[in-house]
Structures are given as C-alpha cells and as structure tokens.
C-alpha cells in the first residue's frame, strides 16, 4: 500500500504540472515553439547539476555496481526487443522511436527514488544502491546511447561513422563533463556540501537539478495532442508489455538467480518497472524529433505503472 500511495502521489504531482502547462498553452501564455529552448535548459543545465549533486559525494564499493550492471543488461534487452516488435508490427519510424526509448529508459530518478525511500525508510544501503542503479545503470545509457537512438529516429539513418561522431560530440556536452567531474570528485573524496565554502556550489546544483522534473513535464504538456485511439494501440501495448512488465520481471529474476540481497532485488524491480522517463521527450526534442507520440505513451504508461509494479513485486515475492 505504501508503494501504491507514493507512486500515486508522485504521478499526481506530475499530472498537476502538466495540467498547468496545458492551461497555459490554451490561454496563449506559452506555445510549442518554447519547447526546444526549455529542452536545452534541461539538457545543458538541469541534468548536469542533477548528476553532480547525486554522485559527487557518494562513496561506494565495486560490489554496488552489480545492480547497475543488471539494469544496463535489461535496458539493452528491451531496446532489442522493442526494435524487433516494432518492425514486426509495422510501426512508423516516429512510432518506433517512441517505443524504443520508452521501453528502454524509465523515470528512476524521480518516481524511483520516491518509492525506494518509502519502501526502505531506514535502509541507507537501499538508497545508495538506488542512486547507483539510476545514475549509472540508467543515466549512462540514456545520455550516451539515448542521443544516438534519438538522432537515428529523427534522421532515419545510421552508420558507424555517424555513431562515432555522436559519441565524440557527447564527450563535449555538459552532461558528459558533469559525469566525469562527479566521478573524479567522489574518487578523490573532495569536499562536499558539509564544508562552508562548498555549500553555495551544491546549493546551486540542487536548485538547477530541481528544474528537471517540472520543466520536462511542461515540455510534455506542450507536445501533447488529442490522441487517436487506433494510432496508439500497438505502440502502447508494446511499451506496457516490455517496460512495465517484462523489464522488472527480468531484472528481479536475474537478481534472484545470482543471489543478490532482497533489498537489492526490490530496488531493481522498482527501478526497472518505472514508467518511461520524461527525459526521453527531451532527447527527441533536442534533435528535432516529433514528440507527440512519445508524450502520449509516457502519460498513459505512468498511470498504468501504479498497478504493474505491485504486480511484479507480488509475482517475485
């Protein structure tokens, strides 16, 4: 019941922000032309700040990387399955891009953290593992492979040369720079926000990081269109099956087979079973893609995830 209440509360917050965005759009306060600029703010300021404040002061042992490794394996599997199923179902390139991104990358850094903090209120190790699963297991792929997928589905072309250029371009982005600085900061145990001189830096980082969720949801509200039911049946079915059911089942099963502690297994189930990340919209928006299908899939699957996470946890015990 705690999981359900937490997810319901978190999703309702997102719904309220989205409704405010829709109302503002309807009244002409904001329009779709602002979405690209807002995406740039999130991509170049908010996300790098989120990475830094979460990783720079986090000390961990190598054993903590098992969860992140399992998550990466699950995400790669979902990308491959989503690609195959989308082709078999004859989805358009736009629909296929939305399905692949939704099936792969979940909203672990928002809903995921909230749920884990309630399920394990007195277990610091569970929260540390959740951060590593989210930032390394999800974050590394969504910020490296994610842009490559977004570019492919926007342009319809792929080559190893273009992929190499994309990776090279990624190394110069604020996200990659922040990731490297954060890991080095933690590795050398540099001063954190407990030091007076560092407090302004980390406080500014938290303020910028807090922009990610509301601004991302506003971008979704700017891109939402009235759905035609027949147009979304196949894409929505694939996303529900892969992201909300198969991904958490696979993550939990692997953790069970290799004998990870129970709270690690629950962490993985929760993180893998989160609905698609709103950052997927940022990725497509950043590279000029059509985000209307993606926004609709995220909105629908977020509501449905209330029941699917509970179902998977009950199945795996």
Instruction: Provide the number of structural domains found in the chain.
Output: 1
- Least trusted range by pLDDT, from 126-140, 220-234, 297-311: 220-234
Higher model confidence: residue 124 or residue 47? 47
> Within 13 Å and on the Cβ side, how many CA atoms surround 275?
24
Highest mean pLDDT among 70-74, 233-237, 299-303: 70-74
pLDDT of res. 131: 77
pLDDT at 108: 77
57 or 250, which is more confident = 250
Determine what percent of the chain is predicted with pLDDT higher than 90.
Answer: 26
Whether pLDDT at 85 is above 90:
yes
- pLDDT category at 102 given cuts 50, 70, 90 is very high
pLDDT at 268 > cutoff 60: yes
Report, as an integer, the average pLDDT of 137-155: 83
Burial (CB < 10 A; 0-12, 13-18, 19+), residue 122, is: exposed
Quickly state the pLDDT bin for 211 (edges 50, 70, 90): confident
DSSP 239-258: HIIIIIIIHHHHHHHHHHHT
The residue range of the domain holding 301 is 2-316
Q: Is the pLDDT of residue 168 over 70?
A: yes
What the block records as the tokens of 62 is: 């190598």
Phi, psi of 84 (to 5 degrees): -65, -50
| Count of other CB atoms within 10 angstroms of residue 43 | 21
Please compute the mean of the pLDDT values over residues 225-248 and round it to a whole number. Answer: 86
pLDDT for res 6: 64
Lowest mean pLDDT among 56-70, 136-150, 161-175, 265-279: 161-175
Share the mean pLDDT of the chain. Answer: 83
Q: What is the CATH number of the domain that holds 288?
A: 1.20.1530.20
pTM of the model: 0.78
Looking up tokens 């991302």, which residue turns up? 216
Per-residue burial over 56-67, b if 16 or more Cβ lie within 10 Å, else e, is: bbbeeeeebbbb
């Amino acid at each position: 019941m705690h999981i359900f209440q937490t997810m319901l509360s978190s999703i309702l917050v997102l719904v309220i922000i989205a409704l405010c965005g829709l109302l503002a759009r309807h009244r002409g306060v904001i329009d779709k032309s602002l979405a690209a600029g807002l995406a740039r703010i999130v991509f170049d300021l908010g996300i790098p700040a989120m990475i830094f404040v979460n990783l720079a002061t986090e000390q961990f042992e190598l054993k903590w990387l098992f969860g992140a490794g399992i998550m990466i394996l699950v995400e790669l599997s979902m990308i491959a399955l989503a690609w195959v199923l989308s082709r078999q179902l004859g989805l358009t390139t736009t629909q296929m891009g939305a399905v692949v991104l939704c099936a792969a990358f979940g909203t672990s850094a928002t809903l995921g953290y909230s749920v884990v903090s309630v399920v394990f209120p007195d277990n610091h190790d569970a929260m540390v593992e959740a951060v590593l699963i989210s930032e390394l297991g999800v974050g590394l792929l969504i910020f490296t492979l994610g842009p490559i997928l977004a570019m492919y589905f926007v342009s319809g072309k792929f080559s190893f040369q273009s992929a190499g250029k994309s990776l090279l371009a990624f190394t110069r982005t604020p996200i990659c720079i922040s990731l490297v600085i954060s890991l080095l900061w933690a590795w050398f145990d540099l001063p954190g926000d407990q030091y007076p001189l560092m407090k302004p830096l980390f406080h500014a980082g938290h303020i910028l990081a807090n922009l990610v969720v509301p601004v991302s949801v506003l971008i979704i509200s700017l891109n939402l269109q009235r759905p035609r039911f027949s147009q979304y049946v196949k894409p929505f079915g694939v996303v529900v099956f892969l992201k909300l059911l198969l991904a958490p089942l696979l993550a939990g099963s692997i953790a069970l087979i290799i004998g990870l502690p129970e709270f690690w297994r629950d962490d993985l189930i929760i993180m893998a079973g989160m609905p698609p990340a709103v950052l997927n919209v940022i990725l497509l928006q950043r590279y000029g893609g059509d985000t209307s299908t993606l926004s609709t899939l995220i909105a629908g699957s977020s509501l449905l995830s209330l029941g699917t996470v509970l179902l998977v946890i009950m199945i795996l015990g």
